[in-house]
Amino acid sequence: MLNSYLNLVKKLTEISHLNGVMSTITWDQEVMMPDGAANARADQVATLAGVVHERMTDPVLGEYLEELRTLTEHFNPAECCNIREACRQYDLMTKIPKRLVQALAELGSKGHMTWVQARQENKFKDFLPVIQEFLMLKKEWASCAFPDLSPYDANIDQYERGMTAAEITVIFDQLKTTLMPLIHEITHHAYQPDTAFLQGCFPIDKQAALARKISEDIGFQFDKGRMDVSVHPFCGGSHPTDVRITTRYSKYNFVESIYAAIHETGHALYEQGRQIASADLPVSESLTMGIHESQSLFWERMIAQSKAFCTHYFDSFCKFFPENLQTVKVDTFYRAINACKPDFIRVEADELTYPLHIILRFEIEKELFEGNVSVNDLPELWNEKMFTYLGIRPPNDTVGILQDSHWSGGAFGYFPSYTLGAIYACQFYRAIQSEHPDIEQLVASGDFSSIKNWLNKNIHSQGKLYTPQELILRITGEPLNPEHFICYLEEKYRKIYQLKGS
């Protein structure tokens, strides 16, 4: 029994190393790879995906698991988790044909480059075949992997295990009921925060230096990671000692780049906070994308957009960009970066309108998988929903349906994780606030260590020991509850905009 477990660990470690190589070349594809190498990289990714699939479906691995899956009472919780997760992954992967795994990997690589060009040239028709092919492949994948689930639920499960489209719909409908009228009230209110000073010319080298400083201040270890530039900000890497984040810069908007860097740093702190001793085993892996997004949004929204954070960094902002901020006060800056103004771009959206960007995408994906809408009709459907929810209509597809990279890699079912993560983040903040009532004072003084340590202890180091449902209950004492998120947004934005009920 012990030998079987040690052999299992050896095989899982090898698979982890191969996945680490895949992560690194995927990072390279988005950050450093020359455009002309796209086809060669797609072939490399497909080949490596095939090798990983062979390792994950190895009959010898299956023999070890068959022996161990009924003997978990002899192992500690971490070892039980490794066995449980390995069994689940083996059972799943043995249902998926190797050719399908390779086809998805190859299309994901080629699809990304197709999306980049289509976005640059505002040509949805060039990207349309990628979506069509992914839908076909992802439906086939779903029928193999989870034949008892609807195709879309099967894809959601990849990112938010145990969650269904029906459950998400209930939560999102609850958010729409509150947020849409609040946003309408705000956008038609006489008082609007002054944001003019956020427009100007902000040297990119200064933005990069400030982004690095803040990222390091809140805990990112640059000796175990790096920060680069990509079309779409992301967090990648192969190991807790090799975590790679990216942001993007616009010389006309420093807030976007700084907060994108903070968002990705939140993801990176999760990765760097995983158990090093078990880093190549399932027990150390991050839980779900909803939990992962909760960490990025915790730092970006709950911490970095707070009055306390603005107070601490205001002198730095003024030092880096004196021409724009020399006559601005902290309170004015705080209100400006939290201003609610419906916009076309999700990653630039404010905290209040952001959930509606996610709901729009979720509803479109659901309609696609249920066959209720044609891929050809997506731009028009996108624009109509944008107008219904936010009162604006994109002038072109580049800032409309082509703005996100997710579909280029086949990540259908991912989008709900962002708003589920915001709900988790709000509950986690309430929990840490109960243990550290002085959290605002800590942030205002630039002391982020207590917050990072709390997150490391309660979330990052827990890996996959618990389900998301068990983890949120252990930490907060209740299940996922959107009411806390709704109350937080209502209270914050009514106060900023001086509305009744504030």
* Residue whose C-alpha is closest to residue 52's, from 4, 89, 7: 89
Six token digits for residue 79: 């070892």
Of 106, 160, 256, 264, which is the active-site residue? 264
Percent of the chain with pLDDT over 70: 100
pLDDT value at residue 502: 57
Distance CA 176, CA 196 (A): 29
Other CB atoms within 10 Å distance of the CB of residue 446: 15
pLDDT value at residue 271: 98
Distance CA 258, CA 256 (A): 6
Distance CA 495, CA 340 (A): 12
| 145 and 92 Cβ atoms separated by less than 8 Å | yes
Q: For the segment 325-382, what is each residue's pLDDT rounded down to a tens digit?
A: 989 999 999 999 999 999 999 988 999 999 999 999 999 999 999 999 999 999 999 9
- Please report where in the chains the tokens 């690194």 appear, as a residue: 24
Q: Which residues contact residue 327 at a Cβ distance below 8 angstroms, ignoring those fewer than 6 apart? A: 197
What's the pLDDT band for 81 if we cut at 50, 70, 90?
Answer: very high
CA-only gyration radius of the chain, Å: 23
Other CB atoms within 10 Å distance of the CB of residue 194: 12
Residue 275 has pLDDT above 60, yes or no: yes
DSSP code of residue 250 = B
pLDDT value at residue 2: 84
Q: For the segment 371-418, what is each residue's pLDDT rounded down to a tens digit?
A: 999 999 999 999 999 999 999 999 999 999 999 999 999 999 999 999
478 as an active site residue: the answer is: no
- Enter the pTM of the model: 0.93
Using CA atoms, how far residue 430 sits from 86, 477, 481, 487, in Å, is: 34, 11, 12, 12
**Mean pLDDT on 301-316:** 97
Q: For the segment 2-33, what is each residue's pLDDT rounded down to a tens digit?
A: 899 999 999 999 999 999 999 999 999 999 99
Q: Which amino acid is residue 108, in one-letter code?
A: G
